[in-house]
Amino acid sequence: METQSDENQDQRQDKRGCFECCIKCLGGVPYASLVATILCFSGVALFCGCGHVALTGTVTILENHFSKVTSDNVMLTDIIQLMQYIIYGIASFFFLYGIILLAEGFYTTSAVKELHSEFKTTICGRCISGMFVFLTYILGVAWLGVFGFSAVPVFLFYNMWSTCAAMKSPMANFTNIESICVDARQYGIIPWNATPGKACGSTLGDICNTSEFYLSYHLYIVACAGAGATVIALLIYMMATTYNFAVLKFKSREDCCTKF
């Protein structure tokens, strides 16, 4: 009986030890950086994936309805292709940057310091942490501009969609529907000598009914939402990296005080 009770007590102690170890491991997780990383990956994936497909659909709409002469939109096509290549670079960069910030969060959180009593800070480590703070702030400001820029095609497509909806509305009382037009040239998308440059009446309604227009419009909305999610993720990163840098500075002062 004593042997069985001793075994049960050992099992309870083992379970308690495993439970305490799990609690310490969970305490060492930088949840702010983890949430920011998930949100950043999701936002960048939505922005890059939806934006790439939406740009392709936009080119199709312009070439089929607004600028049927290929030489008129060569520059626009080149710019859109360049933007698609930039999207590839953005996706790759933020995938690596998110992983690096998450790793930096793991190694600078206070819970990790408690787990590793021999944790020491160095000048190089503090400089790297400060560099992440500065770079994250710069990226946050840049993505605010990207978020504003991504709202521009949403606004343009919304204007076209609302015009089509107004023509189809039973409350509308238009004497001549063909006089209602959407001119893509006034937005600077295509040059003024593009032919035809605008769509009116039934032609405009047919454009709004195409799958390219419907898909591109909604993809631009999702891409804009993805850019907004990335901005929020970078704001969380800003707070996390600033806190991590402050932890390193505080730890370096502790190390200096213990030397004397």
Q: pLDDT for 127-176, tens place per residue?
A: 777 788 888 889 989 999 999 999 999 998 898 888 888 777 666 566 56
Give the Cα separation of 144 and 234 in Å (integer): 10
Taking the CA atoms of 92, 95, 96 and 98 in sequence, report the sign of the dihedral they define: positive
Q: pLDDT for 111-126, tens place per residue?
A: 445 544 455 556 666 6
Q: CA 112, 94, 151: angle at the middle one, nearest 5?
A: 125
Question: Tell me, what's the pLDDT at 107?
Answer: 73
- Tokens representing 185 are 């040239």
Give the Cα separation of 132 and 97 in Å (integer): 10
Q: Which of 39-53, 100-114, 129-143, 182-196 has the lowest mean pLDDT?
A: 100-114
Q: What is the domain partition of the chain in residue ranges?
A: 34-108+121-258
